[in-house]
Each structure stands twice: as structure tokens, then as C-alpha cells.
Amino acid sequence: MIEWFVAGLTLIGAAFMCLAALGVLRLPDLLTRMHATTKAATLGVSLVMLAVALHFAEEAVVARAFGIILFIMMTAPVAAHAIGRAGYFVGARLWDGTLKDELKPHYDPLSHRLDSGLDSERGDQADVSDREK
Amino acid sequence: MSTMVLISLAVMALALCLTFIRLFRGPSLPDRVVALELFSSILVGIIGVVAIAADVALLLDVAIVVALMGFMATIGFARFLERGGPRDD
């Protein structure tokens, strides 16, 4: 009985990882590729580790497997945020079909400064740039 | 059980090949870093399946180390890219 669960979870996890790889190969730009890898690969690894925990069914192994799941779930968004931010600032080209780029009006690539989009802060920055002139 | 292991290892190997194509082609450095991160995630899955197949629970420690290395490498590359400023590669 448990064996069937293990087999099913492993196969579904492998399928999700293959889906993530397909996404990273086929999607058009950096941010959409990241959207495929972070979610699908995290789910795939979690399912495989669940299968490992079910297969061994010992306290130490189950704790380690859930530790891996927790670690992946905590680090994947952080890593994706860091590399997505770096990619945007380095100038990764967005897909031609992108409809909305909300960061663009608030980011100055020359001075590498972001404003928060609040009117008051924008006024402050305008004052600063006036004074610098 | 062994057919399950074989099928899932084959699917994951296919995933590794697809990721490698992106790693090879990837137009910019961030694309390659994303492919490398996916590489380490798939590797963690492969190690999990091998742990089931070989019945060796100790392999999970290797999986933890690989996951940690992938995360640190990604953060390191992100820092490296942001310090580098605008570039055309």
C-alpha cells in the first residue's frame, strides 16, 4: 500500500520537475522562466521528499526530509527574488508581449535609484535634483 | 518498484537535458543562473529517488548539501551581477 503511494509521489514529482525544465526551455524571457522553475521545481522536490519520508518511515529520516522541504520552500523565493532583481537591473530584455512594467517609471538606470512611487517622495527627489543643478 | 525508479530517473534525466540546453543557449547570464538553480533542484530530486532505490537514508544529507550549495551559488551570482552594473553579454 505504502509502496504505491511512494511510487505515485515520485512519479508525479519527476513529472513536475520535467515540466519546470520544459518551462525554462520554452518560455520567452528571464522572469517567465523563473516563474516556471521556482514553483514547479519546488513542488517536484517536495513530492519526492514526501515519498522518501513515506518509504523510510523513521523519525530521523522523516525529520531530514521535511527539513529539506522547508529549506527549499524558504530559499527558492529568496533566490528567485535576488536573481530576478539583478537580472532586471542588468538589463535583461522583457518579452515583446509584456503588457505592464510597473518598475520602469520608478527606476533610474543611470543613478541606480528606485523611488517608492509615493507623490511626497517624488517631490523630495525633485527638490534634491533641483538643488544639485 | 524498480520500474518506478527507472521511469522517474529517466524523466529527471530528460529534465536535466532540457535544462542543459537552456544553460548552453541562455542569451544572458541571469538565464544561465536560473538554469543552474533548476539543475540543483533536479539533482536533489534525483538523490531522493536514488536514496529510495538503494535504501540508503544517509544520501539525504547529500541532498541537503546540494540544496544549500545551489542557494548560495544563486545568491552569489545575484550579488556579482548587481555589483557589475549594466552589461551586454
Q: Which residues of A touch B87 (CB under 8 A)?
A: 90-91
Same domain, A128 and A107: yes
- Among residues of chain A, what percentage have pLDDT more than 70? 87
B54 or B84, higher pLDDT: B54
Q: Which residues of A touch B6 (CB under 8 A)?
A: none
Q: Between residues A93 and A61, which one has the greater pLDDT? A: A61
Query: Tens of pLDDT along B62-81?
Result: 999 999 999 999 999 988 88
Q: How many domains does chain A have?
A: 2
What's the CATH number where A33 sits? 1.10.287
Do both A19 and A42 map to the same domain?
yes
Chain B nearest-CA distance from A122, in A, is 24
Q: What is the mean pLDDT of residues B28-41?
A: 91
Residue A110's pLDDT is 74
Look up the domain containing A32 and give its range: 2-94
Give yes or no: residues A133 and A105 share one domain: yes
**Residues A85, A112: one domain?**
no
| Average pLDDT over all residues of chain A | 84
Interface with chain B: mutation pick from A90, A110, A111, A112, highest number of B CBs within 10 Å: A90
Give the residue from A79, A67, A95, A70 showing the smallest Cα distance to A38: A79
Q: Does residue A94 sit at the B interface (CB-CB below 8 Å)?
A: no
Q: What per-residue confidence (pLDDT) applies to A133?
A: 45
Tell me the C-alpha distance between A68 and B45, whole Å. Answer: 11
| Average of per-residue pLDDT across B26-55 | 92
CA of B85 vs chain A CAs: smallest distance (Å): 6
Q: Which residue has the higher pLDDT, A87 or B89?
A: A87
Whether A17 and A75 share a structural domain: yes
Q: Are the beta carbons of B29 and A90 closer than 8 angstroms? A: yes
Nearest CA to A51 among A40, A66, A70?
A: A66
In this prediction, does ipTM exceed 0.95? no
